[in-house]
Structure 1
């Protein structure tokens, strides 16, 4: 039996001109094992394991990869791991959050964003980032209205250093504001948390992109006996016309294959 894949199921990332797989690979577990909220511990994969995981993702039709400076060594590892494959991937990274010595700290100034972007380009060994998101601390509207950061991202886009920009936020107000002037909102939306649904509704109206984080509730998704939580999660997500894709952060090849086969089955109907 052939495994269902996401080849042929790619869709537009809003109005950016980019086309992405409905599932993206989250890479926090490639770079950091401190201060992460997962139900069980894990070991950061070595280069050989990470390379195999990325090769499997490509084989399964995934072309969307999500990283961030706050994901420890994720970006600097992905640069060499993706060498020679730049055209095969749509890369999402972030600005605003740093992670050092086991602690997060935030800087939403335009000057920091420019330094952060240049560092990300160097680490990822690329001339441009496809989608750059603000890694919010939760003060979404203040960041968007008062920091000058969103204007800086628009400048980066005009300069060709990024293809698109948006906000990885925590509030409905922030998500709505991010969509008005940007290309994408990354929101939490899963079986347990659906408070940001108005952002999905608005994205569908505007033709803007939505990427869902914590789609499987960071591995905490659980339902009644006999119900596949992954399938139920994807049925919720992909029934909404505003959802472009969901980021899944597994480093287990079997989980990744199951997630892809399930999503492909749900989307293909």
Structure 2
């Protein structure tokens, strides 16, 4: 029997015109192993291992890849790794957060936003990014109301350098504000944290896109004996019509295959 895949389960990313797999591959672990909140340590995979992981993701029907300047060397590694297959991927990157010498620093100015996107294009060896999200420091409303980041992203969209933009935020108020003028919100939504659910509700009724981060609570979920936490987590997510895709940052091929099989079963025959 062949393994279940997500090829027949691609869905609209809000009203962007893009079609994405219900699971996306998060790539923080390809570039950064400092200051990340995972329950167990990990080693950043070498190029061969990373290439195999990306090939496996494609074979399993994943076409969405999530990266960021704050993910260490993730973007610059992905550029060469994705050579020759750029059109097979929907790439999400970020602006606003830089990670240097083990520390995060934030800059939401117009000049930095534009420089950051140009640098991401160079690192990823591409002429466009499908989606760019503001990497919030937690002050979501302040960023959206008092910095130039959103209008700069809107200008970059007009120029065709990015196809859509939004916010990877930390509050429901920020997510709602982000969707009023933007295309997408990335929210935390899992069995333990559901404060940002109103953002998903809004997206469902307004044709906006939702990407879920920490869908598996970064590996911290524990449930009653005999209950599969991965299945329970994805059942919660995909029972909501507003969820476009969940970003899962695994570098373990078995975990990746298990996640895909679980989601394919939940979404059923297509």
Fold match, TM over 0.5?
Answer: yes
Equivalence for 2:81 = 81
Equivalence for 2:107 = 107
State the Cα deviation string for residues 46-69 of structure 1 (Å, max 9, x = none). 000000000000000000000000
Give the whole-Å Cα distance in 2 for the aligned partners of 1:149 and 1:53: 33
Equivalence for 1:39 = 39
Give the whole-Å Cα distance in 2 for the aligned partners of 1:241 and 1:198: 13
1:96 aligns with 2:64: no
State the Cα deviation string for residues 76-104 of structure 1 (Å, max 9, x = none). 00000000111000000000000000110
Instruction: Give the alignment's Cα RMSD to 1 decimal.
Output: 0.6
* Aligned pairs for 1:1-269 within 5 A: 1-268=1-268
Gaps of 5+ in 2: none
Q: Secondary structure at the match of 1:224?
A: coil
Q: Secondary structure at the match of 1:94?
A: strand
State the 4+ residue runs in structure 1 displaced beyond 4 angstroms.
none
Count of residue pairs the alignment pairs up: 269
Give the whole-Å Cα distance in 1 for the aligned partners of 2:238 and 2:71: 27
Give the whole-Å Cα distance in 2 for the aligned partners of 1:77 and 1:224: 40
State the Cα deviation string for residues 133-159 of structure 1 (Å, max 9, x = none). 000000001111110210110000000
Give the whole-Å Cα distance in 2 for the aligned partners of 1:25 and 1:42: 17
* Deviation, structure 1 residue 221: 1.4
Give the whole-Å Cα distance in 2 for the aligned partners of 1:21 and 1:227: 25
Give the whole-Å Cα distance in 2 for the aligned partners of 1:260 and 1:167: 26
State the Cα deviation string for residues 18-43 of structure 1 (Å, max 9, x = none). 00000000000000000000000000
* Deviation, structure 1 residue 224: 1.0
Give the whole-Å Cα distance in 2 for the aligned partners of 1:76 and 1:120: 8
Q: Secondary structure at the match of 2:174?
A: helix
Q: Secondary structure at the match of 1:17?
A: coil
* Deviation, structure 1 residue 259: 0.2
